[in-house]
Amino acid sequence: MEHINKARELFEAGYNCSQAVFGAFSDLTGLDIDTAMKLSSSFGGGMGRLREVCGAVSGMFMVLGMLYGYSDPDDKEAKSEHYKRIQALAGEFKQIHGSIVCRELLDEKTAGSGYVPDDRTPEYYSARPCTRICMDCAALLDKYISENPTGNNI
């Protein structure tokens, strides 16, 4: 519950969706919050507001990489297991939201909407599913981590 609330708090404080999810797990990734925010800053709005892969989903995948990822490019088994993990979590997210693509989640017809972020107003938060999406990604991560303890945790 702590990570879910932290993801919501970070998003509602003005961080992008990727930063909200990735930053919420800084206690497990071992990254300081400033580094976590910089590292995940490019992925908000579906990759720099291009409305491609949802930033919250990207943040979720980044957490999985930090906790369960591989580093040896020749370790095909580890790479395969990690991709299997990513696809499984993407599938769970799709079951909840129907897509992992930002523009589809926002019901926008075109890719990209300019590079200037929207102002964070009460209308912004009430018109978008982003807060809920950030919380759902954190919940999926918490569930996965609790069911799959690893010695790779930093």
154 in a domain, yes or no? no
110 in a domain, yes or no? yes
The model's pTM is 0.93
Q: Is the dihedral of CA 12, 13, 18, 19 positive or negative?
A: negative
Query: Cα torsion for 33, 38, 39, 42, to the nearest 10°?
Result: 140
Q: Which domain holds residue 120?
A: 2-147
Residues in the chain: 154
| Neighbour tally for 18: CB within 10 Å | 31
Q: Taking a C-beta distance cutoff of 8 angstroms, is the pair 78, 36 a contact?
A: no
What is the tens place of the pLDDT at every residue in 36-49?
Answer: 999 999 999 999 99
| Neighbour tally for 124: CB within 10 Å | 13
126 in a domain, yes or no? yes
How many domains is the chain built from? Answer: 1
152 or 132, higher pLDDT = 132
What is the tens place of the pLDDT at every residue in 108-144?
Answer: 765 667 888 888 888 888 889 999 999 999 999 999 9
* pLDDT confidence of residue 115: 85
What is the tens place of the pLDDT at every residue in 79-118?
Answer: 999 999 999 999 999 999 999 999 999 987 656 678 888 8
pLDDT at 153 over 50: no
